[in-house]
Structures are given as C-alpha cells and as structure tokens.
Amino acid sequence: MARRRRWDLDAFTVVTLNLLADRASWPARAPLVLSELRRLAPDVVTLQEVDVRLANAHELADGLDGYAVVTGHRPGWRAHFDAVAILSRLPIAGHAVLDLGSQWRAALGVDVLVGDGVVRVVSTHLIWSPRDGGRQRQAERLLAWLPPDVPAVMCGDFNATPGYASIRRLVASLPSAHAVVHGAEPAWTYPTPLALPGWTGSTSRTLLLRAAGLWTARRPTPWRGTLDYILVDRRLTVSSCALCFDHPDPGDPRLWASDHLGLVARVQVPPVSSPRRPR
C-alpha cells in the first residue's frame, strides 16, 4: 500500500447510536448491533445508554477487532447503571468527562489522532424534558468545554428535534453532518418499532412523545422525530452521512438494534502542515 502523503486530506468514519439501557432485550439486540458495526467498520463509535452492569460497550469491542473502549460514567448514583462510551481504533491522546449538571447527564470527550492532527470526539446524551431551558444550558456548557485549538465532532442523543433552540444553538457552532450532506435532517431517528418486554423508562418516554404528537398535530399517526445528530466542526469536512441501524432483524420485524436509529459520517481532516508539492 502506498504511503499517504502529508498534504493529502486524512479521513475517519464515526458512528453514533443510543444503545437503549434495557437489559432484558440486550441479548437479542446485541447481534444486530455487532453485525451493523462490522458492516460499517467505523474508526470511532460513540454510544449512549451503555449498561455499566452488562459492560456492553466492552462486549461490542470484544466482538470487533482492534477497538479501545473509554467510558464516561454519569455523575452520582447513575454511575452504577448507565454511561456514555467511545470505541476507537484510532490512537487516543487523552480523554475527559463533563458533568452536564441536570438529570445526572454527562459528556465524554476522547482526543483521537488522525493524520497529522488531533480531533476531539464527543459522545453525549442531553436531558429529556418537554421544556428546552435545561438542554440550552447543557448545550452552552458543552460548547464552552470544547478546546478551542482542537476541532470537534459531537455525537449523541440530544433529546430535541431540530426546531428547538438548544439544537439551533449547537448547529450554529457545529453544523449537523446530515444537513450538510443532504440539506436537511433525517425524517426521524426515534422511535423504531422495537417491541420491548415490560415497561421501561424508554417505553414511557415513547408513549409521552406519541401522545404529544397526537395532541399537537391532531392526526392519528405515531410520533416520530429526529433526536440524534453528528455535529462537525467547520475546520473539518463532511464527505458523507447516512442513517444506520435502520432495519430490523430479518426474521423478526419487531426486533431492532435499539429504539433509536444511528448515524454514520465520513469526516476529512486537513493536515497540520502542508508542504509544497515537489515539481
């Protein structure tokens, strides 16, 4: 293989997925997550609702090849139950965890080495609330936390559709990869038709969102919306972005990898130095 020249753009692929912290359904869903990750072969994977007791981020890394795992535990008592995490097969220069201050939410930033430079990749999960004020404060905290001299890719479940002020604030600083490539966000990323056994927090949230959609739109259709994003620093270039984890198990239309769809993006990173091409 020819050695890549220093003046060429370097690129990496990043995937984001909310895994859904539902222990009962994980054994059935795990093969779907692994199968899609093997198909996509991303360089970096950002995960939300990682089950700490199951250690399912490590389970996924063990089922893949060559990924390191960094976990960002939520503050307080939630640290024993779920977390955000990042899997990377790129070299890692360091990492940091940010307490987002509401609903025991956290963000994990991992500095990965790409070509000649460093990129801060963030996995985060903002608060769920019909009011946007708390998310706006978390958005401001996230943006202030990013190192100014390192370009960032921020991924996760932001628990707000594109019209919310918190999302408008974030994309004003870090444009959405899907919107950059396609001119708009996907039609929806949540909820999938995943059938969960019993009652879970996620199921309750789904019912509330669907009820809100029925009430506000006054139409007999289930609520769906875009809550998941890959946000990319303007110093970087997005060459592609698409939905993933967007199909059920071939043998069971009610079995999906998660209650969320995922996103995958290809990001190009300009080299730190650009020597003149030889004549």
Using one digit for the tens of pLDDT, what is the confidence trace for 66-77? Answer: 999 999 987 776
154: which strand partners?
Answer: 122, 231
Mean pLDDT over 94-104 rounds to 91
pTM score, whole prediction: 0.88
Name the residue ranges covered by the structural domains of the chain. 10-193+227-269
How far are the Cα atoms of 70, 72, 208, 257 from residue 35, in angstroms, in the given order?
21, 24, 31, 10
Q: Which residue has the tokens 């990749």?
A: 121
What is the tens place of the pLDDT at every residue in 3-62?
443 334 699 999 999 999 999 999 999 999 999 999 999 999 999 999 999 999 999 999
What is the tens place of the pLDDT at every residue in 151-209?
999 999 999 999 999 999 999 999 999 999 999 999 999 999 999 875 444 445 555 55
| Residue range 10-193+227-269, CATH number | 3.60.10.10
By CB atoms closer than 10 A (0-12, 13-18, 19+), residue 193 is exposed
Tokens of 221: 């259709």
Print burial letters for 87-115: b (CB count within 10 Å at least 16), e (below 16).
bbbbebeebebbebeebbbbbbbbbbebb
